[in-house]
Structure 1
Amino acid sequence: MHARTPEQTAFADSIDAFCRARSGTRAQRDALTQNGTEAHNPALYVQMAELGWLGVGISSKYGGSDGGMSDICLFAERIAYGLAPVGGYVTTVVAAGPYAKFGTEAQREKILGGITRGRVEAISISEPGAGSDAAAITCRATRTPGGFIINGQKTWCSNAHIADHLLLVARTNTSSSRHEGLTMFCVPTGTAGVEIRGIPTLNGKDVNDVYFTDCFLPESAVVGAVDQAWPQLMAGLNSERLILAATMLGRGRRAFDDTVAYVKERKQFGRPIGSFQALKHRIADLATELDCCELLLYRVAAMADEAPERMLPREASMAKLKATETAKRVALEGVQMMGGYGYATEYDMESHLRATVISTVYGGTSEIQRDIIGKTFGL
């Protein structure tokens, strides 16, 4: 395990105790999630806000605690391990970055202050024709007196249905290159002309299509500089990848611990199945991989804390790639070692599998992460 400060150790212990008390049993989690159909429980989230946890990476000026990336990752890891149904946190903390770096003072007070009080935020980038190729965005923001008119469709927008605002990326200029002419906007989800429709998935209600039809946004909705969203997005990708890596490290560790508990208890041929070499060696390999993920993640998080303006494309992509692929492998191996029970909804393993499989797709697929890493070597 990586070294933690005494304060971080106490923080992690507090999160673990909270999760054991409020979401530690299957019955508690079912009650909080409408039997697993909802990924986010607002009341539980507000309780975390009241403890000051949601502002861990936010300036004290806006109600936060001035923590760094290592602290954010620690929180994301422990709530994922504790299976706390607060799925709104990841998009919220990722959205906080652009507002903190590029937003106006009014935007920071509204968005960052709201986050510390338990508000959920979301980011709207992907489109039907713009996924991994984010520069292919066509959702259009056309200038009009006093602001912009938005028309177009976004998709795979996580948490749009529970968010107060969408951090929208739209095209404001078609005469420049693909990576230019994009602008960020702060869009209240109740704005006229915004329609949010859920997309049914294996993981329940978490992603959405968002349609913009003659949606008017005032000039004050612009986040940062007009036509400069691409470099603003690039500045925040390190944070997103590290937070996703931390979340999957937590989920992977939970899947691992659930597997170990099962193979110690389950007996076949007169002894616990974990005592058979075939399973014992799998457990050893998974434990080693998870420790590698943890060391990589927190090393990169420390680098980000030491120099917040560094891009770290290679290191952040490595952390995201390693953590998500490892978590998926742990869950798949867990299903295999638990046999039919790993497939049954009676146990958590099948939900671990659903949660980890998609992690190698969102936030930049594993293939995209490998491509980014390769490019840093001049390939």
Structure 2
Amino acid sequence: MDTPGFTEEQVEFAKAVRNFAAKECGTREQRDKLTDNGREQHHEGIYRKLAESGYLGVSIPEEFGGSGGGIAEQVILFEELWRGMVPVHGAGTSHTVAGVYKRYATDEQKASVLGAICSGAVMSISISEPGAGSDAAAIACKAERDGDKFRITGQKTWCSDAQFADRILLVARTGRGDRPHDGLTMFEVPADAPGLEIRPIGTMGGGAEVNDLFFTDVVVPALAVVGEEGRAWRQVMAGLNGERIVCAAQGLGMAQRAFDDLLAYVKQREQFGAPIGSFQALRHRIADLAIDIEAARALTYDTTRKVAASTAPPEELVRATSMAKVKVTETAKHVALEGVQMMGGYGYTLEFDMERHLRVAIPSTIYAGANEIQRDIISATYGLRPSRF
């Protein structure tokens, strides 16, 4: 971490994660072997090594096997993992699930799930449906009570990492209420539950990151309810600040890595008898990218401190985390796109990593709440809401 505001221990933690990344996947040959030549974003063996090093439990309480850190440690972890191109896509969803369990689960559920995450299990969370993406109030997947059990029927989509998850935190409809989001409940569902089909969705990278889920009379015990029945949306909203700032941390790591790779390229690539980085057309654009990244870094770290302190008004925290998510993920996409352009034909060949950077950066502006929705949230904190016609 090159920016003040972090403790000496946190700085050393950042260095340790960076060294881990360099050792395990610091070369192109290592990354190709781990990711099937860039087509996959999660490698179970590397993920287990992260767990053995204690990194996956960095923000999980000590009584459940973690090291008891907070949001700052999470930000450090994800910035360094994504900067190092470590193929552990399941870490993000697992930490999102961990946040819900820390707030709302019973002690028994916490011990089971949080302990499993520390040991290297992947957890997934499923909210979106074919007819309910940004509009979660339209969720139709049903969980009907049947004595001391619930019977789940319906379809989910865009569920990240379900294909290799241990458990899925499902948001399903158990009833209706006065408000559109009333009647939603969270359930812990084993990924191998009878009646659950997990069907990967092909994406632009060729590998499967997201999935359709089909529930056909999937039965779970009433003890599988996480938190309060009918109040899932409140529980989801309570964790969004943390999820957004982690997305920003990932984006920051992506942006910095794309910049580092681009800078190395323009220094060694020669045309017209000189390195192309000496040409003003490129020098100025690279300077602009450096400015954008430093602005994104300042916003990410400042927002992290606000979330960690929890002293700012709730509306201010929502605004800050949404701003960070938008600014940093769009910076990552911009840096990667500029990298492709400045590297010319080599920018989109499989020989270099820049095309991977772009493939990873593009969906970051969509998941965890599309940036268009984040802009709606930000404008609402200023008292600006859609007109009613």
Residue 309 of structure 1 deviates from its aligned partner by: 9.6
CA contact (8 A) 1:81 1:250 kept: yes
* Aligned CA distance change for structure 1 residues 221 and 308 (closer, same or farther; 3 Å): farther
**Distance in 2 of aligned mates of 1:308 and 1:124:** 31
SS at 1:199 equivalent: strand
**Distance in 2 of aligned mates of 1:152 and 1:58:** 32
2:209 aligned partner = 206
**Distance in 1 of aligned mates of 2:43 and 2:311:** 32
1:99 aligned partner = 101
Q: How many equivalent pairs are there?
A: 379
Aligned-partner residue type, residue 223 of structure 1:
V
2:367 aligned partner = 362
Task: Pick one of 304, 309, 330 that aligns with 2:307.
Answer: 304
Task: Pick one of 6, 11, 14 that aligns with 1:12.
Answer: 14
2:249 aligned partner = 246
Task: Pick one of 34, 40, 43 that aligns with 1:41.
Answer: 43
Aligned-partner residue type, residue 27 of structure 1:
E
1:63 aligned partner = 65
Do residues 88 (structure 1) and 90 (structure 2) align?
Answer: yes
Residue 175 of structure 1 deviates from its aligned partner by: 4.8
1:318 aligned partner = 323
Q: Deviations over 1:137-167 (max 9, x none)?
A: 1111111111211000000000000111111
Aligned-partner residue type, residue 282 of structure 1:
R
CA contact (8 A) 2:277 2:283 kept: yes
CA contact (8 A) 1:318 1:373 kept: yes
**Distance in 1 of aligned mates of 2:36 and 2:232:** 38
Aligned-partner residue type, residue 183 of structure 1:
T
1:150 aligned partner = 152
CA contact (8 A) 2:251 2:364 kept: yes
Residue 37 of structure 1 deviates from its aligned partner by: 2.4
**Distance in 2 of aligned mates of 1:308 and 1:65:** 24
Q: Deviations over 1:19-51 (max 9, x none)?
A: 111101111011112222221111111111111
**Distance in 2 of aligned mates of 1:360 and 1:209:** 20
SS at 1:206 equivalent: strand
Task: Pick one of 277, 280, 292 that aligns with 2:280.
Answer: 277
Do residues 257 (structure 1) and 257 (structure 2) align?
Answer: no
Residue 123 of structure 1 deviates from its aligned partner by: 0.4
Residue 135 of structure 1 deviates from its aligned partner by: 1.6
**Distance in 1 of aligned mates of 2:230 and 2:32:** 45
* Aligned CA distance change for structure 1 residues 160 and 310 (closer, same or farther; 3 Å): farther
**Distance in 1 of aligned mates of 2:10 and 2:286:** 28
Matches within 5 A, 1:55-204: 55-203=57-205, 204=207
CA contact (8 A) 1:154 1:211 kept: yes
Aligned-partner residue type, residue 111 of structure 2:
E
Q: Which runs of 5+ in 1 are unaligned?
A: none
Q: Deviations over 1:78-119 (max 9, x none)?
A: 010001111110001011011110001111001100011111
Q: Which runs of 5+ in 2 are unaligned?
A: 385-389
CA contact (8 A) 1:304 1:310 kept: no
**Distance in 1 of aligned mates of 2:183 and 2:10:** 42
CA contact (8 A) 2:91 2:122 kept: yes
SS at 2:87 equivalent: coil
* Aligned CA distance change for structure 1 residues 49 and 310 (closer, same or farther; 3 Å): farther
**Distance in 2 of aligned mates of 1:315 and 1:175:** 31
**Distance in 1 of aligned mates of 2:294 and 2:69:** 24
**Distance in 2 of aligned mates of 1:22 and 1:260:** 23
Residue 333 of structure 1 deviates from its aligned partner by: 0.2
Residue range with higher mean Cα deviation, 28-37 or 188-197: 28-37
Aligned-partner residue type, residue 373 of structure 1:
I
Aligned-partner residue type, residue 300 of structure 1:
T
* Aligned CA distance change for structure 1 residues 308 and 241 (closer, same or farther; 3 Å): farther
Q: Deviations over 1:321-353 (max 9, x none)?
A: 001000000000000000000010110000000
1:378 aligned partner = 383
2:334 aligned partner = 329
2:234 aligned partner = 231
Aligned-partner residue type, residue 282 of structure 2:
L
CA contact (8 A) 1:336 1:342 kept: yes
**Distance in 2 of aligned mates of 1:375 and 1:177:** 19
Calculate percent identity across the aligned residue pairs: 53
CA contact (8 A) 1:135 1:179 kept: yes
Aligned-partner residue type, residue 52 of structure 2:
E
CA contact (8 A) 2:306 2:312 kept: no
**Distance in 2 of aligned mates of 1:195 and 1:309:** 43
**Distance in 2 of aligned mates of 1:308 and 1:158:** 32
Aligned-partner residue type, residue 368 of structure 2:
G
2:345 aligned partner = 340
Residue 308 of structure 1 deviates from its aligned partner by: 8.1
Aligned-partner residue type, residue 234 of structure 1:
M
Aligned-partner residue type, residue 157 of structure 1:
C
Residue 310 of structure 1 deviates from its aligned partner by: 6.3
